[in-house]
Amino acid sequence: MTDQATTAEADSAEIPGKPISASRTTLSHIMTHSDTNLLGTVHGGVIMKLVDDAAGAVAGRHSGGPAVTASMDEMAFLEPVRVGDLVHVKAQVNWTGRTSMEVGVRVLAERWNESTPPTQVGSAYLVFAAVDADGKPRRVPPVIPETDRDRRRNQEAQIRRTHRLARRRAIMELRAKRAAEGFDD
């Protein structure tokens, strides 16, 4: 059997699915003075790092190996986070493709000086690609949604995937058209 045939066979083999709950992760962190911006509240980049960390842990758990951030979109900051707040970053796989996964993340803050339930302060969607030892994309197990909420998130992730692909294709077409017209921009 040729290497090509072996690869094609491995490629079409079924990979058993994994339930969303098997990789769901929460990362918790207390905000300190070194996390602040000039206004004294927590810097958005600090939250984005935690979001990427939690989503990366989920992607690694789901895919059973290394995974890299391919894109991060719709990062929303809903409320300021303050020094002393205990931030919980909750992440789960919403959708899987052939080698990529969309991870949805919710960021909650437990206010250090209020006895109120945690407030949602942010959310984001990230796409991770599972990679092999050479950094090449490798297949991921299909994700199995378990609840109605999981199924809704899975359907919404497919809408975002369609939009991401359409946007990328439209931009590539525009660039090719401008290059053909002689623009060098």
Q: Do strands 67-77 and 25-30 pair parallel, antiparallel, or not at all (unpaired)?
A: unpaired
Where does this chain touch ligand COA (CB under 6 A) — which range of 32-40, 74-82, 125-133, 143-151?
125-133
Q: Do strands 25-30 and 143-144 pair parallel, antiparallel, or not at all (unpaired)?
A: unpaired
Name residue, tokens 């790092």.
49
Q: Do strands 100-110 and 86-96 pair parallel, antiparallel, or not at all (unpaired)?
A: antiparallel
Q: Indicate whether 91 belongs to the interface with ligand COA (CB under 6 A).
A: no
CA atoms of 174 and 185, how far apart (whole Å): 12
Least CB distance to ligand COA at residue 104 (A): 14
Binding mask 21-60 for ligand COA (x = CB under 6 A): ----------------------------------------
Positive or negative torsion for Cα 120, 45, 25, 85: negative
Least CB distance to ligand COA at residue 139 (A): 8
Which amino acid, one-letter code, is at 71?
Answer: S
Site for ligand COA in 59-88 (CB under 6 A): 68-71
Q: Could you list the residues that contact ligand COA (CB under 6 A)?
A: 68-71, 97-100, 127, 129, 131, 135, 137, 164
